[in-house]
Amino acid sequence: MSHTAEEPVATVRPPESISLPGGISLRRRAEGDAPALNASVVANLEHLRPWMPWAGSKPSLERTEAMVTAGIAIWDEGSDFMYLVWLDGAPDSVIGAFGLHSRVGAGALEIGYWVAADHTGKGIATECARALTEAALTLPGIERVEIHCDVANKASSAVPRKLGYRLDHIRDAPVTAPSESGRLEIWITEH
């Protein structure tokens, strides 16, 4: 990636595709991804519902298409970077989704993620978060990457712990999904 420190994040993007160990890839959301993403979300609703507010009901294909379109638009704006996780041997099957989100303020990006139930416990979330942490910290103006997760979500909080993030603080948060405790861990890594 070629850029200078003076360029804003909006003009420099993380890689659109990242190949990872174990035959998995992160790829920028693109037109045509909605059917595979929708199938994965629908198949994993029971797995996602405890932690993801948006998993309260089965999404229509149209809703997923709108979500993919929105993901493309925010990438193009340079504010957020939405990825899907694929098995290289099954390029039509989404096994997770990740994002780099600007919602945590200037100089920082937050990583959000989920992995399909059949693929948890294999290090996929950790490897994807590691790759996105590295990509985020190469962007001009980004000094910090955060991962936020409910204190009750032990699987999610294991990811930043394994990557060497530090637990910065725990704060109260509205409960938005059935298994949430209302206590949010804020994990941080910095340059």
Three-state secondary-structure class, residue 43: helix
- C-beta of residue 137 within 8 angstroms of C-beta of residue 6: no
Q: Would you kindly state where each structural domain of the chain is located, as residue ranges?
A: 16-190
Three-state secondary-structure class, residue 106: coil
Which one, of 58, 112, 104, lies nearest residue 85 by Cα?
112
For domain 16-190, give its CATH number from 3.40.50.80, 3.40.630.30, 3.40.605.10, 3.60.9.10. 3.40.630.30
pTM metric for this prediction: 0.92
- The string of pLDDT tens digits covering residues 3-45 is 344 444 456 899 999 999 999 999 999 999 999 999 999 999 9
- The string of pLDDT tens digits covering residues 99-136 is 999 999 999 999 999 999 999 999 999 999 999 999 99
d(CA 104, CA 166): 16
Count of CB atoms situated within 10 Å of the CB of 60: 11
Partners of 137 in the β-ladder: none
Which residue carries 């962007």 as its tokens?
A: 139
